[in-house]
Copies of this chain bind each other. A is one copy, B any other.
Amino acid sequence: MTAGSTTAQLIEKHRPTLDQALEAIRTRAYWSPYPEHPKAYGAEGAVPGSLSAAEGQAAFEALRGKRFELDQPGAQGWTGAEISPYGPELGVEYPHPDVERLLPAMRAAMPEWREAGPEVRAVVCAEILARINARTHEFAHAVMHTSGQAFMMAFQAGGPHAQDRGLEAVAYAYAEQVRTPGAAEWSKPQGKRDPLALSKQFTAVPRGISLLIGCNTFPTWNGYPGLFASLATGNAVLVKPHPRAVLPLALTVRIAREVLNDAGFSPDLVTLAAERDGEGIAKALATRPEIRIIDYTGSTAFGDWLEANARQAQVFTEKAGVNTVVIDSTDDYKGLLSNLAFSLSLYSGQMCTTPQNFLIPREGITTDAGPKSYDEVVTDLAGAVEGLLGDDARANALLGAIVNDQVKERIAAAAQLGEVALASRQVTNPDFPEATVRTPVIVKLDGAKPDAEAAYLSECFGPVAFAVAVDSARDAVELLRRTIREKGAMTVGAYTTSPEVERLVEEACLEECAQLSLNLTGGVYVNQTAAFSDFHGSGGNPAANAVLCDSAFVATRFRTVEVRRPS
């Protein structure tokens, strides 16, 4: 089979999906091409050729304790020391890269990829995502045993939801590249003389090599947007996973290389740079002249370092923020409590979108169940969390495992910061007795006290919530503004029945640039966003300079070169 016929087949196969994705980002209505129910996969599921639950688990187990062959140029020994947050060592070793050989191979692969054009690149990316999707059950285990997410979350957020975000980036990249036509005839009238006439060609050209610096907690969900945005715009992508979450991205790289090769392109358009823990190759890679784009999710400190030092590259960062929920009033107090309890508990609060500060007027709030004092609200929220996580099986299914020791230490330290309204509880996971499983801690703080400020104005990543007493709703909005401006925020939530307070909160979010969820009391949570409809981050406050996904996320990943000649 020639490359030509393969790409034609890929266009036939994936063009309808691409068109639906383009329509979805235009309407922002609900859409997803990748089923989120585990039963959709396997021989009896809706996804053809996909792995069943048992096959996925077997595929994951087959990877363990072995070398992960990639057949990419410039391998220099083997590295890998992943230990599941659930206990087991994965025992997988990955090729350690020789970047002096890897980077030139990647550059050499790019001209043909550029020549292929936006549509072929988009459908090749769609095929990569389709093959990843078919192996969602395998990815679920890989994500679970690197991030510590519970299985169902690893399956959904690490599988179809991550794939959605990848396809969303492909759609944005495609749309942006075809806004300028491939060719144009230009004819300028000159009065009685002949018009000036030129033939113009416009080609989307890549920037260079794109570096993806992966994170520990959401290796695929946070990794796919940058990877696919860069690949779809013609760049080669070097994937540098977090040393503790290599496997999901290594699988991704392997599948991408297979698809590229099948479609007649060099597999070296996507390569892996696995590193030894503590080796810190990201800094060296990030400042190489060949690296022209960087996507990064992680700490503010390293994100700031990249922005300041990787000056030769376009740097897209998602760093840390302090997420706030303003609680002013509600007509569904029970819904408020259960919604927030779930938001706090999901993946032990180890999401960049988990709310941290709950701003509650010290005089209390009005609810459909009567007025509630500050103390009552905090006690009721604590009770809702206890109720949600009272059953250990359910608690394990929601909480997952603590991803590293720093999170565990933060839980302990938080309890020293103020009055503990809800103590963190250890939960035993019968399947993985070595896993650290902890319920959230809720600490009361007085917003007016300067010593409390240091606590609630710092990100405390993990299952830690601060119930901050404020003077009034207006005071809460002022603190919200200040928090977004100084510390950034990935999410903001608010509960109010007052049009006046709602207006103030909205205005604060519009002016300080943060994404707002109002009065969520049902099955949508402030920490969850849906690809094709919700923006993840705003790009306009210190938490992140990038948005998943808008045109700014793709527009600078390529440039348009014009060649003009007389007609």
Whether the Cβ atoms of B551 and A196 lie closer than 8 Å is no
Interface SS of A by simple majority: mixed
A185 contacts across to B, CB distance below 8 A: 29
A181 contacts across to B, CB distance below 8 A: 26-28
Whether the Cβ atoms of A550 and B540 lie closer than 8 Å is no
Q: With A510-B205, A539-B559 known to touch, is A200 a contact of B522 (CB < 8 Å)?
A: no
- The 19 sampled A-B contact pairs (Cβ below 8 Å) are A27-B184, A28-B180, A28-B200, A30-B186, A111-B510, A111-B511, A186-B533, A190-B523, A205-B511, A516-B562, A516-B564, A518-B564, A518-B565, A540-B559, A547-B559, A550-B560, A551-B551, A552-B552, A556-B556
Which of A207, A308, A311, A515 counts the most B-chain CB atoms under 10 A from its CB?
Answer: A515
Whether the Cβ atoms of B524 and A198 lie closer than 8 Å is yes
Given contacts A29-B186, A198-B524, A205-B540, 16 further A-B contacts (CB under 8 A): A27-B181, A179-B551, A190-B523, A200-B533, A207-B540, A307-B311, A506-B563, A510-B561, A515-B562, A516-B562, A519-B565, A519-B566, A535-B560, A538-B561, A539-B556, A540-B559
Q: With A510-B203, A519-B566 known to touch, is A530 a contact of B188 (CB < 8 Å)?
A: yes
A511 contacts across to B, CB distance below 8 A: 111, 205
User: Does A534 lie at the interface of the complex (its beta carbon under 8 Å from any beta carbon of B)?
Assistant: yes
A190-219 vs B, CB cutoff 8 Å, 1 = contact: the mask equals 100000101010110101000000000000
A27 to B522: give the CA distance in the assembly, Å. 47
User: Does A375 lie at the interface of the complex (its beta carbon under 8 Å from any beta carbon of B)?
Assistant: no
A540 contacts across to B, CB distance below 8 A: 205, 207, 559, 561
- A contact residues, range: 35 or more
Shortest CB distance A19–B (Å): 16
Closest 4 A-B residue pairs measured CB to CB? A28-B184, A540-B559, A552-B555, A518-B565
Contact of A514 among B28, B189, B534, B561 (CB under 8 A): B561
A522 contacts across to B, CB distance below 8 A: 196, 566
Whether the Cβ atoms of B29 and A184 lie closer than 8 Å is yes
A518 to B519: give the CA distance in the assembly, Å. 60
A189 to B535: give the CA distance in the assembly, Å. 20
A296-311 vs B, CB cutoff 8 Å, 1 = contact: the mask equals 0000000000011001
User: Does A262 lie at the interface of the complex (its beta carbon under 8 Å from any beta carbon of B)?
Assistant: no
Contact of A561 among B28, B307, B513, B520 (CB under 8 A): B513
A562 contacts across to B, CB distance below 8 A: 515-516, 534-535
Whether the Cβ atoms of A530 and B186 lie closer than 8 Å is yes
A520 to B506: give the CA distance in the assembly, Å. 55
Which A residues from 111 to 126 make CB contacts under 8 A with B?
111, 114
Shortest CB distance A554–B (Å): 9
Which A residues from 166 to 190 make CB contacts under 8 A with B?
175-176, 179-181, 184-190
Which of A203, A510, A511, A555 counts the most B-chain CB atoms under 10 A from its CB?
Answer: A510
Shortest CB distance A39–B (Å): 11
Whether the Cβ atoms of A26 and B538 lie closer than 8 Å is no
Whether the Cβ atoms of B510 and A196 lie closer than 8 Å is no
A559 contacts across to B, CB distance below 8 A: 513, 538-540, 547, 550, 552
User: Does A509 lie at the interface of the complex (its beta carbon under 8 Å from any beta carbon of B)?
Assistant: yes
Shortest CB distance A115–B (Å): 9
User: Does A517 lie at the interface of the complex (its beta carbon under 8 Å from any beta carbon of B)?
Assistant: yes
A551 to B190: give the CA distance in the assembly, Å. 30
Whether the Cβ atoms of B552 and A509 lie closer than 8 Å is no
A343 contacts across to B, CB distance below 8 A: none
A451 contacts across to B, CB distance below 8 A: none
A507 contacts across to B, CB distance below 8 A: 111
A2 to B482: give the CA distance in the assembly, Å. 36
A6 to B539: give the CA distance in the assembly, Å. 34
Shortest CB distance A182–B (Å): 10
A226 to B524: give the CA distance in the assembly, Å. 40
Q: With A26-B181, A560-B547 known to touch, is A513 a contact of B566 (CB < 8 Å)?
A: no
User: Does A521 lie at the interface of the complex (its beta carbon under 8 Å from any beta carbon of B)?
Assistant: yes
